[in-house]
């Protein structure tokens, strides 16, 4: 990979297969970003464990699923380093040092964390420390690779701001520009509604169409989609705003004229949901078919997929380890590189050991 390219980092928690929401909001972009940037994709298993400590098997199993989704979507291991968080110990070390630069109350003010705490319902007084602190661990991920660009949805902007604060605080405290302050890259469409009309497609809400779904599953999901609840009869005028079927058409359809025409027709009445859904189904089948075929192909080559992860992780670790060395050197705690050099001067080693016997 070209050393001069800017570094870009994204990632996913391996807690389930990836779905159309991921595809539109992130995967599709990554496939083109890998041509312009030196791209790292982190399979964030340690982050996944912060709210799945009791179910590590789920995290373990989904590493492969997520990797298959990446490769099937067109992420190329020749252009992108796909790496596994827990296999890069430098990330844990960086997290420990950054934890001293962030106050507890700053973490508790993080809007993204507040939102996510609502969703997760840990119960009164049962928020795991690892969950509250994961924005710091994320800062470690981003800075370890020296990422200058991080594609994030709008709801994740406060997370990136936490990283930016840590970078500034670190560089200022240790008087060296060791860490790179990342910029956000907010995608055009950062989130897709669920098939039930809820604002976000998500595994836990059970409202997702997966990249790995079979054709008949996709069709059934599309035909069951939530539309305008007031559009009861075909002849009724319907609403296309906040109507997931039309939002999906906007996200995936390429025949913009046809879609505009359908919207107009739906608005004035006379266009049935079934017709629109059938058209959406055709489009989604076309988008998902090649991905599904590639995914099945990769499933036959699991050892090779693991090898891809192994090599990506190795490359990522090399980079993280350089950053950690710079961090420790800036802090002056690089004993192995500095203090311990002195131990090479030893001539009379045995004598000292004997002295200590007294």
Contacts (CB under 8 A) with a copy of itself, residues 134-193: 136-137, 173-174
CB of 40 to a copy of itself, least distance (A): 16
In this complex, which beta carbon is closest to a copy of itself, that of residue 236 or of residue 334?
334
Distance CA 133, CA 104 (A): 9
Distance CA 236, CA 261 (A): 17
CB of 313 to a copy of itself, least distance (A): 9
Measure CA 317 to chain center: 18
Give the torsion sign (CA, 27, 29, 31, 36). negative
Subset of 67-126 contacting a copy of itself (CB under 8 A): 71, 74-78, 84, 86-87, 89-90, 92-93, 95-97, 99-107, 122, 125-126
CB of 114 to a copy of itself, least distance (A): 13
- Please state at what angle helix 157-173 crosses helix 134-144, rounded to 10 degrees: 70
Burial zone of 158 (CB within 10 Å; 0-12 exposed, 13-18 middle, 19+ buried): middle
Residue from 36, 177, 204, 301 in contact with a copy of itself (CB under 8 A): 301
- Pick the stretch among 208-216, 224-232, 254-262, 303-311 that binds a copy of itself (CB under 8 A): 303-311
Tell me how far CA of residue 272 lies from CA of 234, 275, 276, in angstroms: 5, 6, 7
CB of 219 to a copy of itself, least distance (A): 25
In this complex, which beta carbon is closest to a copy of itself, that of residue 84 or of residue 195?
84
Residue from 23, 40, 131, 279 in contact with a copy of itself (CB under 8 A): 131
In this complex, which beta carbon is closest to a copy of itself, that of residue 145 or of residue 174?
174
In this complex, which beta carbon is closest to a copy of itself, that of residue 89 or of residue 269?
89
Subset of 18-77 contacting a copy of itself (CB under 8 A): 45-46, 49-51, 53-54, 56-57, 59-60, 63-64, 71, 74-77
The residues, ordered by sequence, that sit 6+ positions from 262 with a Cβ below 8 Å of its Cβ are 246, 249, 271, 276, 279
CB of 59 to a copy of itself, least distance (A): 7
Do residues 180 and 147 lie in contact, with contact meaning Cβ atoms separated by under 8 Å? yes
CB of 320 to a copy of itself, least distance (A): 11
Do residues 145 and 40 lie in contact, with contact meaning Cβ atoms separated by under 8 Å? yes
Subset of 237-276 contacting a copy of itself (CB under 8 A): none
Distance CA 50, CA 255 (A): 43
Measure CA 86 to chain center: 15
| Residue whose token pair is 């200022």 | 172
CA dihedral 66, 166, 52, 301 (to 10 degrees): 20
Q: Per DSSP, what are the bridge partners of residue 151?
A: 185
CB of 48 to a copy of itself, least distance (A): 10
Q: Per DSSP, what are the bridge partners of residue 149?
A: 8, 183
Residue from 1, 6, 116, 128 in contact with a copy of itself (CB under 8 A): 128
Q: For 60, what's the count of Cα atoms within 13 Å in the CB-facing half-sphere?
A: 5
Subset of 322-351 contacting a copy of itself (CB under 8 A): 328, 331-333, 335-336, 339-340, 342-346, 348-349
CB of 164 to a copy of itself, least distance (A): 17
In this complex, which beta carbon is closest to a copy of itself, that of residue 87 or of residue 205?
87
Q: 182 is written with which tokens?
A: 């990342």
CB of 143 to a copy of itself, least distance (A): 15
CB of 151 to a copy of itself, least distance (A): 21
In this complex, which beta carbon is closest to a copy of itself, that of residue 107 or of residue 184?
107
In this complex, which beta carbon is closest to a copy of itself, that of residue 3 or of residue 303?
303
Do residues 138 and 92 lie in contact, with contact meaning Cβ atoms separated by under 8 Å? no
| Residue whose token pair is 């950062």 | 190
In this complex, which beta carbon is closest to a copy of itself, that of residue 107 or of residue 185?
107
Measure CA 258 to chain center: 34
């Amino acid at each position: 990979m070209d050393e001069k390219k800017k570094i870009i980092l994204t990632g996913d928690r391996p807690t389930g297969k990836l779905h159309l929401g991921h595809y539109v909001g992130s995967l599709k972009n990554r496939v083109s970003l890998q041509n312009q940037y030196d791209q790292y994709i982190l399979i964030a298993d340690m982050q996944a464990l912060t709210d799945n400590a009791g179910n590590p098997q789920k995290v373990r199993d989904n590493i492969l699923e997520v990797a298959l989704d990446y490769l099937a979507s067109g992420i190329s291991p020749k252009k992108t380093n796909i790496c596994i968080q827990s296999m890069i110990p430098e990330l844990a070390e960086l997290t420990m040092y950054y934890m001293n630069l962030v106050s507890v109350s700053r973490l508790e003010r993080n809007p993204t964390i507040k939102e996510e705490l609502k969703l997760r319902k840990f119960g009164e007084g049962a928020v795991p420390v690892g969950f509250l602190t994961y924005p710091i661990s994320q800062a470690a991920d981003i800075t370890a690779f020296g990422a200058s660009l991080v594609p994030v949805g709008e709801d994740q902007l406060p997370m990136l701001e936490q990283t930016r604060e840590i970078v500034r605080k670190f560089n200022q405290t240790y008087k060296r520009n060791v860490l790179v302050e990342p910029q956000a890259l907010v995608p055009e469409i950062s989130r897709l509604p669920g098939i039930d009309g809820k604002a976000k497609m998500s595994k836990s809400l059970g409202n997702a169409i997966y990249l790995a779904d079979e054709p008949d599953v996709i069709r059934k999901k599309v035909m069951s989609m939530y539309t305008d609840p007031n559009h009861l009869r075909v002849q009724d005028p319907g609403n296309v705003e906040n109507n997931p079927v039309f939002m999906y058409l906007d996200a995936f359809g390429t025949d913009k004229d046809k879609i505009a025409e359908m919207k107009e027709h739906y608005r004035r009445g006379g266009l049935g949901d079934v017709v629109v859904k059938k058209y959406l189904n055709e489009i989604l089948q076309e988008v998902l078919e090649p991905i599904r075929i590639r995914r099945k192909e990769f499933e036959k080559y699991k050892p090779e997929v693991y090898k891809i992860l192994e090599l990506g992780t190795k490359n990522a670790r090399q980079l993280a380890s350089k950053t950690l060395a710079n961090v420790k050197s800036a802090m002056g705690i690089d004993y192995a590189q500095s203090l311990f050099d002195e131990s090479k001067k030893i001539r009379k080693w045995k004598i000292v050991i004997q002295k200590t016997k007294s």
